[in-house]
Amino acid sequence: MNGGACSAGRSRWVEFDSVVSVEIHVQLATESKLFCRCASVYGAQPNTSVCPVCLGLPGSLPVVNREAFELGICAALALSCEVSSICTFDRKNYFYPDLPKSYQITQHYSALGRNGRIEIEDNGGARQIQIDRVHIEEDAGKIVYDETTGESLIDFNRCGVPLLEIVTKPWVTTPEEVYKYLVAIKQVLQYTGVSDCDMEKGNLRCDVNISVMEQGAQEFGTRTEVKNLNSFRAVQKALEYEKKRQIELIRQGKKVVMETLLYDDVSGKTALQRSKEQAQDYRYFPEPDLHPFFISGEWLESVRSKMVELPGARRERFIREYFLPRYDAGVLTGDREIADFFEKCVTLHNSPKVISNWIMGEVMKTLNEKKVSLSDLNLSPAQLVELINLLESGEITNLVAKDVLAAVIETGKSPRDIIAQKGLRQESAEDALRAVVDKVIASNPVPAVEYKKGKKTAAQFLIGQVMKETKGRANPQIVARLVLEALDKAAPENPQK
Ligand code: ZN
Ligand code: MN
């Protein structure tokens, strides 16, 4: 893992480690905004969900949204943070057209949660990523560039929407591990209902800081910040690019400059947004319009008691309780909806591995193809279990079962109805099958002769042809037996016998 181009001036080839810290902003899944009663909606008509508070009109005063804090506490607990017992707010002052107050209310001096951690899977083992802080703040509005008129328009609907900012400590890592960290964080936030984490709607955004240092070095190198990352894969690719770029600079005897870069997903490169040589001065000071308030032990406990089982714990339980391979357990628990679906199926039919295979195979394939989530599909646990039962009782073949599943998803009808309607019941009436076998053998003389000469594998081809002829409806075991019977009957004494 190194940057490539070797500088001529250097006699010693050194390897580099990258040090990364990740800053995530997620939108809390509240009904209303952080300091007013405006609805926290996405995709509404611009500037329809606004009021004097979130527009920062003179004389208006903010009031804290309790639901936002419940969600924030829930996230802090799920990430094993120490939760602050007193909550304070601060103003971060800066001017930007989409920030009508000219300051953002945030938690600068005291964060809601500190010193947390999250576990990620690391080649079968586990690794803990340290979280520095989790705090609550309000979002800004959105600038929309109108390409037809060339105007810049401002939509204030997002102003004051509650955000949770999650910042890791810098750690020695790889771009791939950072990707895993993001997946793990998203799973926890979705499981706990803290956020929908829909990156397309912009309710999960992340920025990364990266520096490189010689392996074994004690001091971190100069870091750059990369923004404009619209997917977890983009984060990984941007880090890979930036790591390589920084290593090459150092190998050429040049210096990494502290700056903010924008990542372009199309070219796969980073480009300068602004130089960061002077840190911006936000003139933080305590927010005078909001009283500090206490988070009691009771409140913490009540949030904790309502918390769902977290993905990591659930994965371990799936391995323990259902004897699933670690891989299956990881995939199934990666999405709460899928894990719930799996467990409902298992209560109806106690074959966890068979159910897991169906969900990880056909069901998830369909979800990927259609780019939807499980709740968007016409498929209930009862329907999947009915299908598995029909398959296990031999009424349909595996091949047919896949078609039936597709039809269930398409129509919402029960597997039994679809089978009856389409006449897909397994052909095990032997006489009908025997006729097909004879026909296939007659029209494929070469493999039949080869079989007679002792090439046993030639029978496989004929079995395949019969299955094809019956459109996969025949029971493969019966077909195999009938084909062998027919061939042996026609075959002379095997000379090698
Ligand atoms: Zn408002
Ligand atoms: Mn922030």
pLDDT tens for 449-480 read 888 888 878 888 888 888 888 877 777 888 88
Q: Does 476 lie in the same domain as 457? A: yes
- The predicted pLDDT at position 93 comes to 95
How many Cα atoms occupy the beta-carbon half-sphere of 125 within 13 Å?
Answer: 3
Of the residues 245, 270, 294, the one at which a domain ends: 294
Of the residues 422, 440, 463, the one at which a domain ends: 422
CA of 304 to the centre of ligand 2 (A): 25
**Which ligand ends up closest to the CA of 36?**
1
Q: Does 13 lie in the same domain as 144? A: yes
- The predicted pLDDT at position 428 comes to 55
Q: Does 51 lie in the same domain as 83? A: yes
* 3 state DSSP class of 409: helix
pTM over 0.85? The answer is no
pLDDT tens readout for residues 218-240: 889 999 999 878 899 999 999 99
CA of 112 to the centre of ligand 1 (A): 23
- List C-alpha distances in Å: 417 to 407, 412, 420: 10, 10, 5
CA of 476 to the centre of ligand 2 (A): 61
Q: Does 274 lie in the same domain as 163? A: yes
| Assigned domain for 283 exists | yes
DSSP code for 86: E
| Assigned domain for 280 exists | yes
CA of 363 to the centre of ligand 1 (A): 42
Q: What angle do CA 473, 479, 485 make, to 5 degrees?
A: 160
CA of 96 to the centre of ligand 1 (A): 18
pLDDT over threshold 60, residue 156 = yes
Across the chain, what does the average pLDDT equal?
A: 89
Looking at per-residue pLDDT, the higher value among 275 and 142 belongs to 142
Q: Does 477 lie in the same domain as 355? A: no
| Least-confidence region, from 21-30, 363-372, 414-423 | 414-423
What's the pLDDT band for 440 if we cut at 50, 70, 90? Answer: confident
State which residues form the domain around 186: 2-294
Q: Does 277 lie in the same domain as 197? A: yes
What's the pLDDT band for 278 if we cut at 50, 70, 90? Answer: low
Q: Does 372 lie in the same domain as 320? A: yes
Q: Does 334 lie in the same domain as 359? A: yes
CA of 148 to the centre of ligand 1 (A): 30
| Assigned domain for 299 exists | no
| Assigned domain for 140 exists | yes
Letter for the amino acid at 95? Answer: F
| Assigned domain for 76 exists | yes
* 3 state DSSP class of 377: coil
Q: Does 332 lie in the same domain as 230? A: no
What's the pLDDT band for 492 if we cut at 50, 70, 90? Answer: low
Residue 150 CB neighbour total at 10 angstroms: 7
Both tokens of 127, joined, read 């690794």
Q: Does 272 lie in the same domain as 386? A: no
pLDDT over threshold 90, residue 78 = yes
| Assigned domain for 187 exists | yes
Per-residue b or e along 187-198, where b marks 16 or more CB atoms closer than 10 Å to that residue's CB: bbbbbbbbbbbe
Backbone angles phi, psi at 259, to 5 degrees: -155, 165
pLDDT over threshold 70, residue 150 = yes
- The predicted pLDDT at position 488 comes to 80
**Which ligand ends up closest to the CA of 108?**
2
Question: Which CATH number does the domain housing residue 453 bear?
Answer: 1.10.10.410
| Assigned domain for 121 exists | yes
pLDDT tens readout for residues 299-348: 999 999 999 999 999 999 999 999 999 999 999 999 999 999 999 999 99
H-helix or E-strand spanning residue 479: helix 476-490
Of the residues 272, 294, 316, the one at which a domain ends: 294
pLDDT tens readout for residues 358-370: 999 999 999 999 9
CA of 108 to the centre of ligand 2 (A): 9
Both tokens of 3, joined, read 């940057």
What's the pLDDT band for 252 if we cut at 50, 70, 90? Answer: very high
Number of domains comprising the chain: 3
* Cβ atoms of 167 and 133 closer than 8 Å: yes
CA of 56 to the centre of ligand 1 (A): 9
CA of 58 to the centre of ligand 1 (A): 13
| Assigned domain for 107 exists | yes
* Mean predicted confidence (pLDDT) in 66-93: 96
Task: Give percent of the chain above pLDDT 90.
Answer: 64
CA of 439 to the centre of ligand 1 (A): 77
Q: Does 465 lie in the same domain as 350? A: no
CA distance 106 to 84: 15
Letter for the amino acid at 168? Answer: T
Both tokens of 218, joined, read 């004690």
pLDDT over threshold 90, residue 378 = no
Q: Does 348 lie in the same domain as 328? A: yes
Task: Give percent of the chain above pLDDT 70.
Answer: 93
CA distance 83 to 92: 22
